[in-house]
Amino acid sequence: MKRTLLTLLTALFILPALADEGMWLPSLISSRIDDMRAKGFRLTAEDIYSVNQASMKDAVVLFNGGCTGELISPEGLLLTNHHCGYGAIQRHSTVEHDYLTDGFWAMSRAEELPNEKLWVRFLVRMEEVTDRIAAGETADEIVKKAEAEGPGYKAAVEQMYYGNQQFLFVYEQFDDVRLVAAPPSSIGKFGGDTDNWIWPRHTGDFSLFRIYAGKDNKPAAYSPENVPYRPKRHFTISTAGVEEGNFTMIYGFPGNTQEYILSDAVAYIAERSDPAKIAIRTGRLDIISKAQESDPALRIFYAARHASIANAWKKWQGEVLGIERRGTVASKRAYEEAFDAWAQDKPRYRNVVAQLKAEYARIADPYFAREITLETLGALPIKYSAKERAEAVFARRKATERALYSLQFGEYAHRCPAQFQIPEFLDGVARYGSPEAFADTTAATALRSGTKRMLDHITWLTGTKSLRNLNSKRLNELYTTYIKGLREWDAERAFYPDANLTLRVAYGTVAGYEYADGEYHKPQTTLDGIIAKDNPEIYDYDIPQTLRDRYASKEYGRWAATIGGHKTVPVCFLATNHTTGGNSGSPVLNASGELIGINFDRTWRSTMSDVAFDPSICRNIAVDIRYVLFVVDRIGGAGYLLKEMKLK
C-alpha cells in the first residue's frame, strides 16, 4: 500500500530527474553517459572530463567569479556574454568613447584592452575528499597542499548534498584578461530589461576577451610582455545550425540552487521574501532610471548597477509566477509527507521533517530581517572613496545617492521586523525624527566621507553582520540527514548536488514549450524578429544602422539560414538544459561537443527551476553562434578574428 502511494505521489508530483533535470559533476559524468548517449550525445565521459588528457573541461572557465566563458581559439580567445563583460566594457566607456552604446572592436592585438581585477579560472582537477576529512585532515590543509602544486593555483573544498560529501576543486587562475570585442548594447543587450528573462528573445548577448599568460604559458600578472595563452583545448564551432529535438549540452558554473528544500521554504520564498524584495527594488529602480534619463553621464554611470538590480528584481517575479502556476508548494509538501510516512519506523529519520519545519518557523523572522537588511542598508555604499569623489560625475550623482539613502532607510524601518532592527538605527531615527531625516544626515556624511561620524555609521552597518548566516548551521545539519534519508527512500530518483559555483554538465534538447493554453512557443528566433522590434525612439531597441542595412540587402554571407521557409539569420534558441545564474556565458554544445551557442538566460517562469525543475516549462535561452559570428563579421567588421577559430 505504502509503495503504491509513493509511486502514485512520485508520478503525480515529482517525476524524478525525468526529462532533463540535473546539473552533474563532470568527474562523475560516467553515471549519466548512457542517458546522454540515448539522447544523441556521441562522445565519451573521458571527452568531457579527464585528468590524463586534454578534455572539454580545459576549454571552460569560471569568468570573474560569476559567469562562465569558453575558449574558441588556440590563442586564448574567450567567448562569454555581453552582460558578463558589461562591467569591463562600462569601465572603458566615456561619453566620448561610449563602447556600451557603440560597441568595441579591437582591430589588432595591440588594441585589446587590459582590465584590472578581471580573472578567469580553469579547473585542473576535482576529487572527492570525504574520506580524508573523515580521517581528520582539515579542508584548510587540503586546500593549502593543492595550492602549492603550481603557480596561480587556487583550491577550494566544497560541500555536496549538505555536507554528505566533500570535493576538492583545484583551479589555475589567470589575471591578465583583455577585452577584444563587444557589440553595441542595442545588439548585446537588445531589448534591455524589458526583454530580459523573456521569450521570444533577440539578444546578441556576447563579448570577446583574450587570456594572456607569461612566456612560459603560466599565469602572470598583467604585463605588456605577456603573450596570448595557449589553452590545452578549445571548442570547434559548428555553423550547421540547430533544430528542435537536437541534443544540447551545457558546460559551466551554475551558482546556486536549492532543489531539496522543504515546501515551507518555497512558500517563504514565493509569499514573503520575493514580494518584499521586489517592492524595495522597484523603488530603487525608479530613482536610478530617472537619473539615467535625465543625464547621459549618469546613464553610463548607473548602467551596470541598474542592470544588476533589475535582473534579480525581474527574476523573482517570474519565479513567484512559476511556483504559483505549477503548484510547487503543494507538490513539495506531498513529497515530504510521503517521505515522512516512510520515515516513521526509522529512528534516524523519524523526526527530521518535523524538526526542519520547527526550525523554519523559528528562524523565519530573523532570516527575513537579514534579507531586508541586505536589500536596504546593506545595499548602500557606506562611504565613497576619495578616487570616486574626484570623478567628474560625482557631483551629478549626489542627488540620486541621497534619494536612495532615503528610500532604503524608509524601507528598512518599515519592513524589517522591529525586534531585529539595529539599535544604532533606532537611535538615529529617534535622534533625527524619522528614517528619512536620519538618511539625509547619513548620506551627507557618507558623500563627504572621512569624518568621525562616518565611523559610527560604519559600526552600525557592520552590525548587520550579526544577522548573517543565521542558524544556518542547525538547518544545514538537519538537511544533511534529510537528504541522506531521501536518497535511501527515493532510490530511483537521480539525485545531483545543488549548484554551488562548481563546474557542472547539464544536457537536454532544443525544445519549445506550451507558454499558455493553446499557445506554443517555438524554440528559435531570427533577424526578422529584431527588425520587427526595431525602434529608434527606444534606447534598448534602437539597432545599429548597419544591421538595418544588412537586413535590407540580405547580405548575410555564410551566416544565412532558411528558417520558416525563408532566408534569414538565426538569433536565439531554447533548450531544456537545467541552468541557473552563473551559467551565463556557458558553451552550448551539440552531440559532437562543438559549440552551437552561448547560454545567457532562462524563460521567466522557468526560473523556478532554482527550487524545483519542471520539465514542462523550464527552458534555458542561448544565443545562436551563427548570430554571434554574423555580428563579429558583418557588423563589427572584425572578420579577422574568425581566422583563429575553427569553424565547421
What residue ranges bind ligand GLU (CB under 6 A)?
Answer: 67, 579-584, 600-602
Say how far apart CA 63 and CA 79 lie, in whole Å. 10
The active-site residue out of 584, 586, 606, 609 is 584
Contacted by 579, from ligand ARG, ligand GLU, none: CB < 5 to 8 Å by type: ligand GLU
Q: Which residue's CB is nearer to ligand GLU, number 320 or number 641?
A: 320
Shortest Cβ 67–ligand GLU spacing (Å): 6
**CB of 98 vs ligand ARG, minimal distance in Å:** 18
Which CB sits closer to ligand ARG, 319 or 490? 319
Which lies closer to ligand ARG via its Cβ, residue 238 or residue 620? 620
* Grid cell at residue 199: 521569450
Binding site for ligand ARG (CB under 6 A): 83, 189, 192-193, 196-197, 307, 310-311, 581, 584, 600-601
Nearer to ligand ARG (CB atom), residue 310 or residue 632 = 310
Cβ pair 429, 441 in contact under 8 A = no
Could you say which of ligand ARG, ligand GLU, none residue 359 binds, taking C-beta under 5 to 8 angstroms by partner kind? none
| Whether 97 is catalytic | no
> Which grid coordinates are listed for 581?
545564474
Q: Is 85 within 8 Å of 179 (Cβ atoms)?
A: yes
Residue 8, C-beta contacts closer than 8 angstroms, at least 6 positions apart: none
What phi, psi does 293 have (nearest 5°)? -70, -30
Identify what 299 binds: ligand GLU, ligand ARG, none; CB under 5 to 8 Å per kind. none
Minimum CB separation of residue 66 from ligand ARG in Å reads 9
- The residue ranges of DSSP E strands in 207-334, in sequence order, are 207-213, 227-228, 247-252
CB-CB contact of 605 with 318 (8 Å): yes
DSSP state of 463: G
Q: Nearest approach, Cβ of 606 to ligand GLU (angstroms)?
A: 8
Q: Which of 205, 274, 614, 633 is catalytic?
A: 205
Partners of 237 in the beta sheet? 595, 647
CB 509 within 8 A of CB 39: yes
Q: Cell 529608434 appears where?
A: 536
Nearest residue (CB) to ligand ARG, 15 versus 285: 285
Which lies closer to ligand ARG via its Cβ, residue 475 or residue 575?
575
Single-letter code of the amino acid located at 243: E
CB 162 to ligand GLU: min, Å:
22
CA 12 – CA 14 distance, rounded (Å): 6
Distance CA 291, CA 300 (A): 11
Which position has the grid cell 524589458?
Answer: 194
DSSP-derived 3-state class of residue 502: coil
The residue among 490 and 601 lying less far from ligand GLU, judged by its C-beta, is 601
Q: How many CA atoms lie within 13 A of 63 on its CB side?
A: 36
Helix boundaries (H) for 17-81:
33-38, 45-48
C-alpha cell at 166: 566533500
Name which of 9, 29, 156, 130 is nearest 484 in CA terms: 130
CA distances 254 to 288, 505, 550, Å, are 29, 9, 36
Q: Are 502 and 253 in contact (CB under 8 A)?
A: yes
Residue 582 binds what, of ligand GLU, ligand ARG, none (CB under 5 to 8 Å, by partner type)?
Answer: ligand GLU
Closest residue to ligand GLU using C-beta atoms? 584
Could you tell me if 288 and 400 are in contact, meaning their C-beta atoms sit under 8 angstroms apart? yes
83 is catalytic: yes
Asked if 10 and 41 touch (Cβ cutoff 8 Å), the reply is no
568 contact, one of ligand ARG, ligand GLU, none, CB 5-8 Å limit per kind: none
User: In terms of Cα–Cα distance, which of 567, 597, 602 is closest to 582?
Assistant: 602
- The residue (of 81 and 408) whose beta carbon lies closer to ligand ARG is 81
Nearest approach, Cβ of 581 to ligand ARG (angstroms)? 5
Q: How far is the CB of 176 from ligand GLU (least distance, A)?
A: 23
If the CB atoms of residues 464 and 584 are measured against ligand GLU, the closer one turns out to be: 584
> For residues 64 and 196, which CB has a smaller minimum distance to ligand ARG in the complex?
196
The minimum distance between CB 85 and ligand GLU, in angstroms, equals: 12
Residue 199 interacting entry, from ligand GLU, ligand ARG, none, C-beta within 5 to 8 Å by type: none
Q: How far is the CB of 3 from ligand GLU (least distance, A)?
A: 37
Q: Which residues contact 452 (CB under 8 A, 6 or more apart)?
A: none
- The Cα–Cα gap between 421 and 117 comes to 35
Preceding peptide of 200 cis, ω within 30°: yes
Stated as kind and residue range, the H or E segment containing 123 is strand 120-128
Residue 563: helix, strand or coil by DSSP?
strand
Minimum Å gap between C-beta 499 and ligand GLU is 10
196 binding partner (options ligand ARG, ligand GLU, none; Cβ < 5 to 8 Å by kind): ligand ARG
d(Cα 542, Cα 550) in Å, to the nearest integer? 15
Out of 82, 83, 202, 306, the active site residue is 83
Helices (H), 326-422: 328-343, 352-375, 386-390, 394-415
The dihedrals phi and psi of 360, each to the nearest 5 degrees, come to -60, -45
82 is catalytic: no
Could you say which of ligand ARG, ligand GLU, none residue 583 binds, taking C-beta under 5 to 8 angstroms by partner kind?
ligand GLU
Q: Please state the closest distance from residue 541 (CB atom) to ligand ARG, in A.
A: 13
**Smaller CB separation from ligand GLU, 401 or 601:** 601
Q: Which does 112 bind (CB under 5 to 8 A by kind): ligand ARG, ligand GLU, none?
A: none
Residue 580 interacting entry, from ligand ARG, ligand GLU, none, C-beta within 5 to 8 Å by type:
ligand GLU
Phi, psi of 583 (to 5 degrees): -80, -5
Find which of ligand GLU, ligand ARG, none residue 332 binds, CB within 5 to 8 Å per kind: none
Which amino acids are annotated catalytic? 83, 205, 584
